[in-house]
Amino acid sequence: MPLWTVYHPVDAYSTQERREFANKIVGFYASRGLPRFYVTTVFHEIGRDCFYVGGEPADNTVRITIDHIARQAGDAARREQTRKEIGTIIEQFTGAKGLRWEYHIDHTPNDLWMIDGLVPPAAHSPSEKVWAEQNRAIPYSAD
Amino acid sequence: MPLWTVYHPVDAYSTQERREFANKIVGFYASRGLPRFYVTTVFHEIGRDCFYVGGEPADNTVRITIDHIARQAGDAARREQTRKEIGTIIEQFTGAKGLRWEYHIDHTPNDLWMIDGLVPPAAHSPSEKVWAEQNRAIPYSAD
Amino acid sequence: MPLWTVYHPVDAYSTQERREFANKIVGFYASRGLPRFYVTTVFHEIGRDCFYVGGEPADNTVRITIDHIARQAGDAARREQTRKEIGTIIEQFTGAKGLRWEYHIDHTPNDLWMIDGLVPPAAHSPSEKVWAEQNRAIPYSAD
């Protein structure tokens, strides 16, 4: 968690751009205390014969799905803040270069999630801080 | 929203068939007032070495996932109606040509969704009608 | 349902290993009475230029998403049991060969799901038993 799945047209991004995009995404979550390795980004290059927006072949649209597990946006104000900040990151790698975009976030159950055989520590717990500092899953006792 | 992800065997569809399939899907939502460009359909051609149903390599099954955001099916009768109509569309592009199929719909939060930097207008609002008529995202004031 | 989507590095698995993995997954659900053909597993081989963990190119991580529909984990004890058993299966095909892994499960609405034109029978119903025995969707009357 979070998992970003990015559907994009063929040749929309160089490898370097994908890496920069992935890094900006990680920065957003790391600034909230999440371990960097929680963030996975998968890019799918989709040919226009397999990608349709409004029923028309699409070669100028980036469609992103985001699964949130470890942190679920809280009250309305926080959700708006999350929505805007994520929109700002995406805009840099889409609208700014002439691509249209859409994203949505899904929330999935916190207790049906594992990394490397471990249940990730509670949000903001001391163990989560250790995971963030070490940037890997480490056996821990409940805080 | 909605996002349809269609996993299908290699060579199950021509480009023309994918486009017709995508258009039928759009028609379903447009008949309910949704802007056509809300509907994204991504086709993934999956080789039988990567596609398993019941643990066996699959080359005759189409598996579809659907994310709904802007409209969430209401009471039981409406949900049944939605389920049936979507099943009828899928059947035309699967069962009718000898392919087995399965789909499921997920609902995701309405307020964690953006298109081209904008929060889409409320369902059935005047601004949504404008978006539908213009078939694109346009800045608007709250209705 | 369930649908497993497995993102893995290039050449992480042979076709034989993918099939064994898919079979182990099916075994887990079949032991709970689910028809084997309910279980779909899609493998996506993702190049390191398209797969980022913590913002770094990933070639040693398997990221799995699981959609559950027909059975939703019940109380906390059952959820823990589900989480552990699934973790044990994944570990055999990842950690045991030096790959890092992460999975999460999403729950989707039971009544927005169809197979081959039919609404699957209720969990643990006589008709579901028939579907499991025959390993295919068969028209039935409500139990």
Contact by Cβ (8 Å): B94, B29? no
In the A/C pair of chains, how many CB contacts fall below 8 A? 101
Q: pLDDT per residue over C95-137, tens digit each?
A: 999 999 999 999 999 999 999 999 999 999 999 999 999 999 9
Distance CA C33, CA A13 (A): 46
- Short-list C110, C116, C122, CA closest to B80: C110
Contact by Cβ (8 Å): A2, A39? yes
Whether ipTM tops 0.85, in short, is yes
Q: Which residues contact B87 (CB under 8 A, 6 or more apart)?
A: B103, C114, C117
Subunits close to C (at least 3 CB pairs below 8 A): A, B
Does residue C143 have a pLDDT over 80?
Answer: no
Burial category of C79 from C-beta neighbours within 10 Å (exposed 0-12, middle 13-18, buried 19 and up): middle
- Residue C11 host element (H or E): none
Distance CA C63, CA C65 (A): 7
In whole numbers, what is the pLDDT of chain C averaged over residues? Answer: 95
Contact by Cβ (8 Å): C111, B105? no
Residues with pLDDT less than 70, chain B: 70-73, 143
Contacts of B51 in chain C (CB under 8 A): 40-43
Q: What is the mean pLDDT of residues A118-128?
A: 95
Does residue C76 have a pLDDT over 80?
Answer: yes
| Interior/surface letters B108-131, b for 16+ CB within 10 angstroms, e for the rest | bbbebbbbbeebbbeeeeebbeeb
Residue C1: predicted pLDDT = 76
> Nearest by CB to A54, which of B39, B45, B67?
B39
Q: What is the mean pLDDT of residues A91-119?
A: 96
Contacts of C35 in chain B (CB under 8 A): 54
> Nearest by CB to A55, which of B36, B109, B114?
B36
Per the CB < 8 Å rule, is C55 touching A109?
Answer: no
Per the CB < 8 Å rule, is C108 touching B104?
Answer: yes
Task: Give the residue on A whose Cα is nearest the Cα of B16.
Answer: A49
Kindly report the length of chain C: 143
Gyration radius of chain A's alpha carbons: 17
Contact by Cβ (8 Å): C108, B106? yes
Q: What amino acid is encoded at A77 in this protein?
A: A
Can you list the positions of beta strands (E) in chain B?
A: 3-9, 40-46, 51-53, 56-57, 61-68, 100-107, 113-115
- Report DSSP letters for B13-53, one per residue: --HHHHHHHHHHHHHHHHTTT--GGG-EEEEEEE-TTSEEE
